Structure formats: C-alpha cells, structure tokens
C-alpha cells in the first residue's frame, strides 16, 4: 500500500503504519459529551493518519453502527480505519484492519480471517511480546503505556514503561512502532526520538476543547521530533 494513491478499483488506499504520525482511538465517554463521529471528522480534517474504533464499554451492536459511520467518513481518504480487538467486527464494517491486545485472538488468526492486505496491529509492552508479534506477522506495534494511562479500568492500569522501553522495542523489531499511553503534544517528542513512527492518543484529542487544533498540535510535535 502507498499513501494517498488510488488502487486498481479507483479507491484511495490507506496510509501504511510506517507513515502513521498521529493515530486517534475513539472513546465517547472521554469526549466531553460529543459524538465520536464528530471528533473523528475534526481529526480527519486536521490531518490525522489513522483512526481506531475503540469504544470500550459499548455493546457490539452500538460499536457496529459507529463503525459503519466511521467507515463512511474515512472512505475516499487515506486515513486508515482500524477496529480494536474484534476481528469479526473489523470484517463486518469493512475496516482496513484490526488491533489486537495480548489477550485477544492471535495475529495469525486475524491474518487468516481478514486477508493478506489487512493491517494487523498488536499491543506490546516488552521486547518479548514485540518480537513474538512481529514474527507472527503483525504490521505494526502499539507500544505502551508509555507514560501510564487512565483510559483503562483500574485493575488493568499499569505504570508507564517510558520512552527507553520504546527505544528497546523499536530496535528489536523490523516493523513500525506507535507509542501509546498518556501521550499528548507536550510529551510526544521523546517517544518519537526513541524510534516510534508516531503516537496514538485518546484524551489528547477527544477531550480537547478543539479536537482539530489538538490534532494539528500533535502532528506538529511529532514532526518537530523527527
């Protein structure tokens, strides 16, 4: 895949993970009462590279409806549209790919179900997890939580692994690394300097008074650090 180019069917192909500088994960309950589609639209207009349908705590049917809306809004753009956790939902909404956690179905299953052109990402917080995911055929890694994060349930929260772990993982794998967890425009630079292709965020964009301006600020911070 190549960024911004038209495929043989005339559609615009999504940017590959190596070109993802900014990556938005949707979460309505962290969006100041606004709809996730509105947040996504603002981010797309501001130049976001990838959007993930996250929406923890929402039932599958609601996620499906939101996924269809997000697919409609990313269609015709080079913004990659990814679904969190659910291979079946990614297929149902015709997403560009899926992002899997360490407790989700294996990378190989996603590849088998979604096909060779699908973008398959995997979360990792250690070098061992990262190398295993890369060897299994993942296209990119979501590495973190870099600075810790309050986006997970209390029982699932972890202290941040820090940019140095990002550096270790980026050096150990041949696929792009995206830093995630507690990242915003003020602290993105060390993550990128450590070798991350870009950064993934929730609240830094969803909770911002102006999500479009927040997206542009994040893009600028990543660009300056590269």
- Under 8 Å between Cβ of 140 and 160: no
Residue with tokens 């810790």: 148
Output the domain CATH number for residue 29.
3.20.20.70
Q: What value does the mean pLDDT take over residues 59-87?
A: 98
Q: What is the pTM of this model?
A: 0.92
| pLDDT beyond 60 at 13 | yes
135 found inside a domain: yes
CA 175 to chain CA mean position, Å: 15
| Res 158: pLDDT | 62
112: Cβ contacts below 8 Å, ≥ 6 apart: none
| C-alpha–C-alpha distance, residues 130 and 114, integer Å | 21
| Res 112: pLDDT | 98
Among 191, 192, 211, which Cα is nearest to 202's? 211
6 is in an annotated binding site: no
150 is in an annotated binding site: yes
| C-alpha–C-alpha distance, residues 148 and 159, integer Å | 5
Indicate which residues carry an active-site annotation.
54, 123, 152
202 is in an annotated binding site: yes
User: Model confidence over 177-199: pLDDT tens digits?
Assistant: 999 999 999 999 999 999 999 99
Task: Reply yes or no: is the peptide bond before residue 189 cis, omega within 30 of 0.
Answer: no
114 found inside a domain: yes
Total number of domains in the chain: 1
| pLDDT beyond 70 at 213 | yes
11 found inside a domain: no
| pLDDT beyond 50 at 207 | yes
224 is in an annotated binding site: no
State which residues form the domain around 50. Answer: 18-225
User: Model confidence over 103-143: pLDDT tens digits?
Assistant: 999 999 999 999 999 999 999 999 999 999 999 999 999 99
4 found inside a domain: no
9 found inside a domain: no
| Res 11: pLDDT | 76
Quote the DSSP letter at residue 48. -
User: Model confidence over 77-101: pLDDT tens digits?
Assistant: 999 999 999 999 999 999 999 999 9
The mean pLDDT value of the chain amounts to 93
55 is in an annotated binding site: yes
């Amino acid at each position: 895949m190549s960024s911004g180019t038209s495929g043989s069917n005339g559609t615009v192909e999504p940017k590959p993970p190596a070109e993802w500088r900014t990556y938005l994960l949707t979460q309505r309950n962290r969006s100041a009462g606004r709809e996730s589609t509105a947040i996504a639209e603002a981010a797309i207009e501001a130049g976001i590279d990838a959007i993930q349908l996250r929406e923890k705590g929402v039932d599958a049917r609601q996620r499906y409806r939101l996924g269809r809306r997000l697919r409609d809004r990313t269609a015709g753009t080079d913004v990659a549209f990814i679904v969190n956790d659910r291979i079946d939902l990614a297929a149902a909404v015709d997403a560009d790919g899926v992002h899997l956690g360490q407790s989700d179905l294996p990378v190989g299953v996603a590849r088998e179900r979604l096909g060779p052109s699908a973008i398959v990402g995997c979360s990792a917080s250690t070098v061992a997890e990262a190398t295993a995911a890369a060897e299994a055929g993942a296209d990119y890694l979501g590495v973190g939580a870099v600075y810790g994060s309050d986006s997970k349930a209390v029982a699932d929260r972890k202290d941040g692994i820090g940019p140095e772990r990002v550096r270790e993982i980026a050096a150990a794998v041949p696929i792009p690394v995206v830093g995630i967890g507690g990242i915003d425009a003020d602290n993105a630079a060390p993550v990128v300097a450590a070798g991350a292709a870009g950064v993934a965020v929730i609240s830094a964009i969803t909770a911002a008074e102006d999500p479009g301006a927040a997206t542009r600020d994040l893009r600028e911070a990543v660009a300056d650090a590269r």
